[in-house]
Copies of this chain bind each other. A is one copy, B any other.
C-alpha cells in the first residue's frame, strides 16, 4: 500500500524537485544569471542523501551551510527547555533551509523521510551572493513568502480551533504538494501524529480525534495513518476558518 502510494506520488512528479540553485537553471534563483556564474554556482554544490530522522542542523549551531531540498520532507522546529516543541513548518522539495543571515541556526531541522538535499558552503555562497547581488532579490522573495507562511501559521496557532487548525494544515499541505488538480488522489502524510500535533499546537490525542471526526463526517478518508483523501473539498475549506 505504502509502496504503491509512493510510486504514485513519484510518478506524479511532485515528490522531487530540481535544486533551485544549481539544478533548475531556468527557474527561480538562477534566472538571468550568465552561464559562467551558473557554472560557478553549480561547482559549489554538494549533493547529499539523508536517512529518516536525520538532523541537518540544530538551533544554536553555527550556520555553516545553505541547503535546497530536492526530495523528501524536512521539519523545522524550536523547543523549550522542558521539551515542549513547536514545529514551524514542513519543507517540501524545492524549499530552502538555513538561509538565515547570521551566525547561528535559529531552529532545528530534521528529515521526516529519506531525503536528498543540495548543500552549499556558507562562505562560498555568501561570496557568490556578493558577486551576484541580483540573486539576493530572489532570496528576498523567498524570505518574504516564508514570512507570509509564518503569519498564516501565527493566526492558526493563536486564534483557530482544533478543527480549523487540522483543516488548514491539510489544505496547506495539499496545496503545497501540488496535488490540487488531483482531487481524488491520496495525499501523503509523511509526518507522525506527534509532529502534526507539534505543528498545530495541539496534542496527539486531539489530532487523532479531529481526524476521526473529519473521517466519520465524510470530509476526508484516512488511508492507513499516513495518507488522506479529501472527499469534500468545499466543506474542508469552510472548516478551515481562513476567511
Residues in chain A within 8 A of chain B (CB atoms): 78-82, 84-86, 88, 99-102, 106-107, 129-130, 133-134, 136-137, 139-141, 143-148, 150-155, 157-160, 198, 200-201, 241-243
A100 engages B153 (CB within 8 Å): no
Closest B residue to A85 by CB, please name it.
B159
Cross-interface CB contact of A80 among B86, B136, B157, B159, cutoff 8 Å: B159
B155 near A154: Cβ-Cβ < 8 Å: no
Instruction: Kindly identify which residue among B145, B151, B160, B242 contacts A150, using a CB–CB cutoff of 8 Å.
Output: B151
Would you mind naming 19 contact pairs between A and B with Cβ atoms under 8 Å apart?
Answer: A80-B241, A81-B241, A86-B159, A100-B144, A101-B141, A101-B145, A102-B141, A102-B144, A102-B148, A106-B148, A133-B133, A136-B137, A140-B143, A143-B147, A147-B150, A150-B151, A150-B154, A154-B154, A157-B158
Docked Cα-Cα span, A143 to B149, in Å, equals 13
Note all chain B residues with C-beta closer than 8 A to A154: 78, 86, 88, 150, 153-154, 157
CB distance from A174 to the nearest CB of B (A): 20
Shortest distance in angstroms between A156's beta carbon and chain B's nearest beta carbon? 9
Alpha-carbon distance A192/B43, docked complex (angstroms): 54
| Contact, CB under 8 Å: A84 / B159 | yes
A119 CB → nearest B CB, Å? 19
| Bound Cα distance from A85 to B154, whole angstroms | 11
Q: Inside 8 A of A78's CB, which chain B residues have their CB? A: 151-152, 154-155
Whether the Cβ atoms of B148 and A150 lie closer than 8 Å is: no
In the complex the two chains form, what is the Cα distance from A45 to B119 in whole Å? 40
